[in-house]
Amino acid sequence: MNTVKRCMSGKGAKFALWGVLITAVSIRVVYLVQLGRSDLEWLLPLDMHFYRELAERLSSGEGLPGGALSFNPLYPFFLSVIFRVSGNGLLVPRIIQALLGVFTIYLHYVAGKEIVKANGSDEFKSEATGIFAAAMALFYPHFLLYEGSLLATSIVTLLLISTFVLAIRIDHHISGISSLKIGSKKLSSLAGAFLLGVLMGVGALGRPNLFFLLIPAVVVWLFFRRGVGGNGCVTALFCTIGAAVVLSLPIAFNAAKTGRFVPVTSHGGINFYIGNRPGADGVYKPPKGMRGDMRGLVKDARKRAQQQLKKEELTDGEASEYWFGRTVEGIREDPTRWLNLLGRKFFLFWNKTEIPDVIDISFYKESCSVMNLLFIPFSIISVLAIMGLFVLFLIKRNRAIFTVFMGSAVFSVLLFYINSRYRIVSVPIFILSASVFFSWILDEVRKKSWKKPAAAVFLALALFFVLVNREMVKINRSAMYAFLGNQYMSRKNEEKAERAYSMAYELDPGRVGARINYARILNRRGKPDKARLLYESAFKAFPDFPHLAIEYGVVLESLGEHAKAGELYRYAYNIERAEGKVLACKYLSRAALSEGKRDRAVYWIRKALEVVPGDEKLLRLLNRLETP
């Protein structure tokens, strides 16, 4: 123990910290190289693709889309700044996110040290706890995974750990344990509280469900946290002002666009409905007839709300209010069902299963072997975090701040549904709770007290096998194969695309998107008979999409079933969507022309021009048809 103590003091501790950080940098360099050489380099599922396109639009000066914000704005603005400086490539954002990831690991070290500072601990215990926290963050693979993605996850994770570090330093300042410093600069408790509010406000632009719970919780905590550092009421007020300064920007923007109060983004209502509706099981499953990607889901949710309310047009904010109201109504009608669902989500939250949302880590481990070095799973972190909570309430220190942060992190996910992307931002707080457990075990061992550590280890093992390690959800990798298929299609590699779409369909034949993708590639590769069966079943499930009806009609036409193809084109024309009408008119015109009915072909082009008057391509086509 004396040897370990010397290694974790002074230069030995610095050497250990640098070892962790250098390892983190090395792993990230290798990961970016391997990612760049794999088929996953340009794999951008629809949400990522949307963020990239929006960032490109912002960086070119085009401005935001019309209406209220229907997306979390933090990441598109972050990405647009990078694009403006370095161009629209993906390597620079990934490098910057990797560097921020290394800084996140360093902040785990800082937070771990700060946690034990209140206990009057020696340098050995302080350094050991900090390095333990940093090492756990280093070897948790999902941190690295999301640093390579075009999502706000790694940025939000950094903001949360930064917020925690600042909050605990404010707590120490108020308690008289130490002065409040950011680097070498001293701050008053009021300045620190204002900065804390600003950080949480910025976090709310990236993950509203978490920070809209954390902001009031921290404000209440500051209100009741009085001491030598300042008055609780004033400190809480300054924190509130800091958050309000940031959040006033999107709120003012949304109000100017819609004349309504929309806090940050207008798509929370449908997500709340998905997570709590009758039939929900705790994971992401859009209602029948709605698309799974963010943009498609928002559009379909608005259309469904319009149909239910019998209104011609709703804003995204009004649609979100409708779905929120539907959810609350369902909870009131059957509170027992909802409480049972919350219980399932609670156990699922702590469970070992990493439920993929946009990206599946198993694909990345296959292509980027360096990820297999990151060996600490969520199941270990979650069990140690639970044990850390027990210790916090046992030693009666830091209980309030951990309750505020961990409670907000957990409940923000339980309100919606469980997946890795939502859950990962709680991991820094879990790691720090685990470091509390490690620190306590260290103390007990140094006192040569073995009974309590032995009992704690036994309890941890029981929690692991009874609560955490059991199978609750079966992961379906179909969506990831579909994304791979889209990637291969964009590179015009139809052979690989067919294999990927085939796997997506085999893994989840009931998913309409899997059927459509597989049908498309089969038709492109000269297999219309197989494609026809898939299109038929997809159309029965999704009859309201004109493009699907038209694609199905094209396949039937290629098989010589012209009459049935014409019926589908006319069906698509009658669906109240402008783009579907125009496309249907073009195919109806083409079919009429192939039958020698030029007048009928002219008729359908004129019908298309009624939808989009003055369209140059249609006018040229009409001119050719009317020219003898």
Q: Is 228 among the domain residues?
A: yes
Per-residue confidence (pLDDT) for residue 486, from 0 to 100: 85
Indicate whether 111 pLDDT > 90: yes
Indicate whether 8 pLDDT > 70: no
Q: What is the mean pLDDT of residues 242-262?
A: 86
Q: What is the mean pLDDT of residues 408-425?
A: 93
In the structure, what pLDDT confidence band is assigned to residue 321 with cuts at 50, 70 and 90? confident
Q: What is the mean pLDDT of residues 11-15?
A: 84
Q: Is 331 among the domain residues?
A: no
Per-residue confidence (pLDDT) for residue 265, from 0 to 100: 75
Q: Using alpha carbons only, how large is the chain's radius of gyration in Å? A: 28
C-alpha span between 338 and 278 (Å, rounded): 8
Q: Model pTM?
A: 0.85
- Please list the alpha-helical segments (H only) found in 265-377: 268-276, 294-309, 316-333, 335-350, 361-367
In terms of residues, how long is the chain?
Answer: 628
Q: Is 490 among the domain residues?
A: no
Q: Do 382 and 388 touch, CB atoms closer than 8 A?
A: no
Q: Is 103 among the domain residues?
A: yes
- Please list the alpha-helical segments (H only) found in 334-418: 335-350, 361-367, 378-395, 399-414
Q: Is 475 among the domain residues?
A: no
Q: Is 164 among the domain residues?
A: yes
In the structure, what pLDDT confidence band is assigned to residue 266 with cuts at 50, 70 and 90? low
- Read off the pLDDT of residues 142-177 as tens digits, 9 standing for 90 and up: 999 999 999 999 999 999 999 999 999 998 888 888
Q: Is 414 among the domain residues?
A: yes
Q: Percent of the chain having pLDDT more than 70?
A: 95
Indicate whether 253 pLDDT > 60: yes
Count: domains in the chain: 1
* Most confidently predicted of 120-134, 252-266, 289-303, 500-514: 500-514
Per-residue confidence (pLDDT) for residue 83, from 0 to 100: 96
Q: What is the mean pLDDT of residues 601-618?
A: 90
Q: Percent of the chain having pLDDT more than 90?
A: 58
For residue 331, give the amino acid letter.
Answer: I
- Read off the pLDDT of residues 378-393 as tens digits, 9 standing for 90 and up: 999 999 999 999 998 8
Per-residue confidence (pLDDT) for residue 499, from 0 to 100: 94
Q: Is 59 among the domain residues?
A: yes
Q: Do 249 and 276 touch, CB atoms closer than 8 A?
A: no
In the structure, what pLDDT confidence band is assigned to residue 447 with cuts at 50, 70 and 90? confident
Per-residue confidence (pLDDT) for residue 568, from 0 to 100: 93
If one compares 217 and 595, the residue with the highest pLDDT of the two is 217
Q: Do 406 and 496 touch, CB atoms closer than 8 A?
A: no
Give the mean pLDDT of the chain: 89
Per-residue confidence (pLDDT) for residue 295, from 0 to 100: 67
Buried b (16+ CB within 10 A) or exposed e, 186-204: ebebbbbbbbbbbbbbbbb
Domain carrying residue 408: 2-262+353-374+394-425
- Read off the pLDDT of residues 55-66 as tens digits, 9 standing for 90 and up: 999 999 888 877
279: left (phi over 0), alpha (psi -120 to 50) or beta: left
Indicate whether 192 pLDDT > 70: yes
Number of C-beta neighbours around residue 249 at 10 A:
13
- Read off the pLDDT of residues 569-598 as tens digits, 9 standing for 90 and up: 999 988 866 668 899 999 999 999 888 899
If one compares 226 and 445, the residue with the highest pLDDT of the two is 445
Q: What is the mean pLDDT of residues 181-204?
A: 92
In the structure, what pLDDT confidence band is assigned to residue 221 with cuts at 50, 70 and 90? very high
Which residue carries 């007020």 as its tokens?
237
How many helical (H) and strand (E) elements, i.e. helices and strands, does the chain have? 30, 2
Q: What is the mean pLDDT of residues 128-151?
A: 95
